[in-house]
A and B are shown apart, each in its own frame.
Chain A
Amino acid sequence: MKPRHPSSPYLLLLPTAAFLAVFFLVPLLLAARNSFYAWDLLTPPRYVGLRNYEVLAGSGELMGTLLRTLGYSAVVVTLSGSLGLALAVALDRPGPVYAFVRGAVFSAYVVSWVAVALLWMWILDADGVFSAALRGLGLPTMSWLGDPRSALLALAAVSVWKITGYAMVIFLAGLQDIPRALHEAAALDGAGPWRRFRHVTWPLLRPSAAFVATTSLILSFQAFDVIRVMTQGGPVRSTTLFVYAIYEHVFVNLRVGRASAMIVIFFGFLLLLTVLQLWALRAGAPREGRRPS
């Protein structure tokens, strides 16, 4: 439509543009600039060129943080995605019982990370029910969050518990789009449940799968709350993932420059993951008549 006044579209967009500039774009540029400085928030920033990047790469901190973050994300994305798919297929049935159980699984996604983290700390405590159950079964137990070998895996498991409901909901929405006639036709042709899943359901769920995988990858890459509450990055830095490392540099070590260099690298990876997402969504072959949103 023609705007009533030539300037009105710009005026209507102005507040949004101002907020986006002040709180998204300028901070991004500031982070990029700060990454070339040494700054402890108390004394004026000092230009150090690429030194922050050199230290991060040279000390192995960057590689270690990246590998831990990727490992955590890989576990979370794979497990929550496949569990979510299995639950969506298993729970896609009418009736109040199924609706209630679907709601229960999804509720974990709605509840605060703080609540989930505290709850699982208690469950995984040395005196907690999980260890008690293992002992009751005659199995060995350990300090799940206190041992560098298991802490990151424990955090990943808790995260899987929390976000599986998200994957399930996306897959359920995908399942609703599959015409029932396709299943009935396949059943008439004598296809069993597995073959119906393999040849009817899964191909049509591929776009949903690509969407779930990439969005939860980007989300798990940004994990922070669960770490801050459950392990504070320890023991021996085994759970120091990207965002927690940035947080620690600023608020524990007062190294804004180092943190900013981490931010720039982190943002680079997020862009990379987004490119991957766009590619995966395209390769997931969007069907015609897909709901816009």
Chain B
Amino acid sequence: MTALRSGGAAAGRSGARRLISDVVLLVVAVVWLGPYAWMTITSLKTLPEITRAPAYPLPQAIQLGAYREVLQAVPVMRYFANTVLMATAIALLQIALALPAGYALAKLRFVGRNAAFVLVLSCLLIPAQVTFVPVFTMLGAAGLVNTFAALILPFGVSALGTFLVRQALLSVPDEIIEAARMDGAGELRIIYLILGPMLRPTLSALFLFSFVFHYNDYFWPLVMTTDDQVRTLPLAIALLREQGTGVRWHLVMAGNVLLSLPVLLVFAAAQRQLLRAVTARV
């Protein structure tokens, strides 16, 4: 999965092809990086500047006024902490539950194993967009709407994660488990302390993928929360646009930068692990 890292065959290119590929490169870079640049530029402007010349490419100076205003108007740090807490809890819970389940499905012989595996896989077909209404009414009846539990528990098990852990465990030799049993290690000890560390590449890919997905998620927190205390950052940034009279785009774009920067940094630092999970096939 080094897709973004290394290139493929590029033997013997003529000058004309070289030129074409340079032009393609430039156009692609403008189309995909231009919007980020425009977001950043707008966030450095002031409202009068934008009203006077909305499409003028440069800010008069590097002004951080928009960021100050956003940080004052919205408790960004608290929403950020909420979001990170939620996404981390979901990712850890998924790993903690996928390990024993994956172990049973990959390594143990028991009646009903195939049925259990099919059951896990079939839940891949049921997205949150199908379950949210009944889950909302269920959590409402349990008094859990507007709590972290409503944001975290519904994603406690990832069918994809369980599947990926099972696949990774299939290639771990049985001898390792037998030797550990001989040494008197219990099943949970084997699962979490011996097999867990061996699956590090898979688990870190899973963690990153799940973390980024839930950090970004808008749909579920929108449906499950109305309360400031548990609101997440994407919701708060989307609200920036809906508040007040007239859209103050410099504020919205400043919020956008604050929302995207952490994910882009994670992406830059851990591209390979993220790609492992994204390109995984069931």
In the complex formed, the residue of B with least CB distance to A229 is B238
Asked if A166 lies at the interface with its beta carbon under 8 angstroms from chain B, I say: yes
Binds A, one of B59-67, B69-77, B133-141, B193-201: B133-141
Indicate whether A107 reaches chain B with its CB closer than 8 angstroms: yes
Assess whether B135 is in contact with A23, with CB atoms less than 8 Å apart: yes
A113 touches B98 (CB 8 A): no
Chain B residues with CB below 8 A from A13, complex form: 100-101, 104-105, 116
Other-chain residue from A8, A107, A293 in contact with B281 (beta carbon distance below 8 A): A293
CB distance from B48 to the nearest CB of A (A): 14
For the side of the interface on B, what is the size category? 35 or more
CB<8 Å pairs between A and B, sample of 17: A16-B157, A24-B126, A24-B131, A25-B126, A27-B138, A28-B126, A34-B134, A94-B7, A104-B28, A108-B32, A118-B237, A119-B256, A122-B253, A169-B3, A169-B4, A176-B8, A224-B219
Please report the number of residue pairs spanning A and B whose Cβ atoms sit closer than 8 angstroms.
Answer: 285
List, in ascending order, chain A residues with CB within 8 A of B81's CB. none
A19 contact set on B, CB distance < 8 A = 97, 153, 156-157
A287 within 8 A of B: no
Interface of A is mostly: helix
Alpha-carbon separation in the docked complex, A152 to B241 (Å): 20
A3 cross-chain contacts in B, Cβ below 8 A: 104, 108-110
Known A16-B162, A169-B279, A247-B223: A1·B107 in contact at CB below 8 Å = yes
Q: Which residues of B contact A114 (CB under 8 A)?
A: 216, 218, 234-235, 237-238, 259
A211 to B282, CA, bound (A): 10
State whether the Cβ of B44 lies closer than 8 Å to any Cβ in chain A: no
Spell out A's residues near B (CB within 8 Å): 1-4, 6, 8-10, 12-13, 15-17, 19-20, 23-28, 30-31, 34, 41, 87, 90-95, 97-99, 101-115, 117-123, 125, 127-129, 131-133, 161, 165-166, 169-170, 172-173, 175-176, 178, 180, 183-184, 187, 193, 211, 222, 224-225, 228-229, 243, 246-247, 250-251, 256, 259-260, 263, 266-267, 270-271, 274, 292-293
**Residue of A101, A106, A123, A133 touching B35 (CB-CB under 8 A):** A123
CB of A5, distance to nearest CB on chain B (Å): 8
Residue B10, interface by CB 8 Å: yes
Asked if A193 and B17 sit within 8 Å, CB to CB, the answer is yes
Chain B residues whose C-beta falls within 8 Å of the C-beta of A12 in the assembled complex: 100-101, 103-104, 108, 187, 191
Cβ–Cβ < 8 Å partners of B212 in chain A? 110
By a CB distance below 8 angstroms, the chain B residues around A15 are: 97, 100-101, 157
- For A115, give its contact among B42, B97, B178, B259 (CB under 8 Å): B259
CB <8 Å contact, A104 and B32: yes
Instruction: For A101, give its contact among B28, B109, B125 (CB under 8 Å).
Output: B28
B123 CB–A CB distance under 8 Å: yes
